[in-house]
């Protein structure tokens, strides 16, 4: 999960890209980078840290030009501690190309060998984004054959990229002296949208980055589609996949995206309201509402679901936790010990909302269970008589290979465990999970054009159709996070398609 943005304008874009990255900061807090172009020369600054820390006034002044790219990074492959792996990535031929990427390639290992042995290209980092850049550069080189660049050449190159590359990818690339090229994988797993204003065009991961910078949302980039924005502002677009189908990552709607974004014509906020509605039915079947005194969300993604659930059950909705906004998302932190330590720094309980009450805590999802266990104990320490926990998402039972940091089975509290076993680990009095099919229906009903979702972390079905246990073992070996990357996944069991 990363946040990306690209702009072609008739005015300087450095401040615009900076503002867009601030709006996408929730998608990555590890590193940030911006590249701009002026007179065919690229100007780049990237470093580890949050946007506001990476870019100072002197850095912004060194980013001239009317077109550029930006990215906030959340590492899922490669080295989390290397500044070299912050994006954008650059290659000097053909033309000079810089690229930002949101997603995760599932065949990066094979592509890296192919690039070296066949394409004669050198990869200098462990990042799959550098692999993707070099595949794109090689295919553009083949289609242009030394001739002047035309939009059709780019579309032919993207068509070949789709045939070679597997996994999830939303990509924006800046081609020196020509313009900005963007494309999305044939399944549309990672989001990408297009916006316009009187000054030019913008591409970004979420619509909130458009609206917050004064651009008008125009449309989503379709799965498999490529969009080329020339430096004069002309927009060219073409479908470049043989069999595109929209299967967006459902975890975007559950947790990752901002609630004020609209992705693939689905309001993220409305999706979370719908999840609360279906979750309410699950709660009734587990805990009688008259045994619940108050509904309390675990900030922040769960608030819409918790509010809707409370309204349907006729229960009081209260804010029982205060969040320290200056601590990063625990979900994103790479080490389990760091994650555990940060929970009480991140949240503080309001004792008066818990004392002597039976409380229903609502979270957006439960991944590792360590945060949930700490929060349940916080509620008890604040005086709660009973603590029930409801998750707006189903149990996370399987690794994610498309760009979310939960690939090893040993990290997932629900892997190979029953709900009762999970409840005992977390320490709550009752544990209620969303149903997988109900989740898909609740969100899918908001856009009839969506035929399915990538819900692989919940149901173990990988939409690209090319993932095996061996693939997951290899991806885990290249995963960021130091020693945690070496956890044994040999006992990982993917679901039997016949079941």
Scan for tokens 């459902």, then name that residue: 250
Cα 236 to Cα 151: distance, rounded to the nearest angstrom: 7
SS3 358: strand
Q: Report the C-alpha gap between 105 and 80 in whole angstroms.
A: 17
Q: Which two tokens stand for residue 195?
A: 């916006």
Q: Which two tokens stand for residue 121?
A: 């290209």
CA dihedral 282, 283, 287, 291 (to 10 degrees): -160
Cross-strand bridge partners of residue 203: 6, 194
Q: Dihedral (C-alpha) 425, 427, 432, 435: value to the nearest 10 degrees?
A: -20
Please pick, among 2, 240, 428, 457, the residue that the annotation labels catalytic: 2
Q: How far apart are the first and last CA of the chain?
A: 31
Could you count the other beta carbons within 10 Å of the beta carbon of residue 486? 12
* Contact of 388 with 361, CB cutoff 8 Å: yes
Residue 341's SS3 state is: helix
4 has which bridge partners? 71
DSSP string of 217-233, one letter each residue? EEEEPPTTEEEEEETTS
Sequence-distant (≥ 6) Cβ neighbours of residue 146 within 8 angstroms: none
376: left (phi over 0), alpha (psi -120 to 50) or beta: alpha
Angle in degrees, CA 366, 50, 125, rounded to 5? 85
Angle at CA of residue 135, ends 137 and 247, nearest 5°? 120
Q: Omega into 12 within 30° of 0, i.e. cis?
A: no
Contacts of 271 (CB under 8 A, 6+ apart): 253, 254, 442, 443, 446
Asked if residue 179 lies in contact with residue 37, where contact means CB atoms within 8 angstroms, the answer is no
Q: Report angle CA 209, 101, 412 to the nearest 5 degrees.
A: 95
- What is the spatial distance between Cα 48 and Cα 84, in angstroms, rounded to a whole number? 9
Instruction: Mark whether 193 is an active-site residue.
Output: no
- Residues carrying an active site annotation: 2
């Amino acid at each position: 999960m990363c946040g990306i943005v690209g702009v072609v304008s008739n005015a300087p874009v450095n401040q615009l890209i900076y503002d867009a990255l601030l709006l996408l900061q929730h998608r990555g807090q590890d590193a940030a980078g911006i590249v701009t172009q002026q007179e065919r020369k690229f100007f780049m600054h990237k470093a580890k840290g949050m946007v506001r820390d990476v870019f100072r006034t002197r850095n912004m002044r060194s980013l001239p030009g009317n077109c550029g790219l930006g990215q906030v990074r959340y590492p899922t492959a490669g080295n989390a501690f290397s500044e070299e792996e912050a994006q954008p990535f650059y290659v000097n031929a053909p033309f000079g190309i810089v690229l930002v990427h949101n997603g995760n390639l599932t065949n990066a290992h094979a592509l890296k060998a192919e690039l070296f042995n066949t394409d004669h290209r050198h990869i200098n980092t462990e990042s799959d984004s550098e692999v993707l850049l070099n595949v794109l550069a090689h295919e553009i080189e083949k289609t242009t054959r030394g001739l002047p660049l035309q939009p059709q050449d780019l579309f032919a190159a993207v068509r070949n990229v789709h045939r070679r590359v597997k996994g999830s990818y939303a990509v924006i690339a800046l081609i020196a002296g020509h313009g900005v090229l963007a494309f999305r994988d044939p399944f549309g797993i990672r989001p990408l949208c297009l916006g316009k204003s009187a000054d030019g065009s913008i591409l970004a991961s979420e619509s909130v980055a458009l609206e917050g910078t004064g651009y008008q949302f125009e449309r989503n980039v379709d799965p498999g589609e490529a969009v080329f924005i020339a430096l004069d502002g002309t927009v060219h677009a073409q479908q470049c996949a043989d069999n595109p189908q929209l299967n967006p990552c459902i975890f975007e709607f559950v947790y990752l995206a901002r609630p004020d974004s609209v992705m693939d014509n689905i309001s993220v906020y409305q999706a979370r309201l719908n999840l609360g509605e279906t979750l309410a039915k699950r709660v009734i079947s587990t805990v009688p509402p008259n045994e619940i005194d108050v509904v309390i969300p675990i900030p922040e993604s769960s608030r819409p679901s918790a509010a809707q659930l409370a309204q349907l059950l006729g229960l009081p909705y209260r804010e029982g936790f205060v969040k320290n906004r200056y601590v990063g998302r625990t979900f994103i932190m790479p080490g389990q010990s760091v994650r555990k330590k940060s929970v009480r720094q991140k949240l503080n309980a309001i004792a008066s909302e818990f004392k002597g009450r039976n409380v229903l805590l609502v979270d957006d999802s439960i991944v590792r269970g360590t945060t949930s266990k700490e929060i349940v104990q916080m509620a008890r320490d604040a005086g709660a008589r009973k603590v029930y926990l409801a998750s707006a998402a189903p149990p996370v039972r399987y690794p994610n290979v498309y760009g979310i940091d939960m690939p090893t089975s040993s990290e997932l509290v629900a892997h190979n465990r029953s709900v009762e076993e999970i409840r005992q680990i977390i320490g709550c009095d009752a544990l209620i999970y969303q149903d997988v099919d109900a989740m898909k229906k609740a969100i899918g009903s908001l856009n009839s054009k969506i035929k399915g979702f990538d819900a692989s972390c919940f149901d173990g079905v990988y939409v690209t159709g090319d993932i095996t246990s061996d693939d997951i073992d290899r991806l885990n070996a290249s995963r960021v996070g130091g020693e945690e990357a070496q956890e044994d996944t040999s006992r990982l069991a993917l679901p039997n398609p016949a079941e």
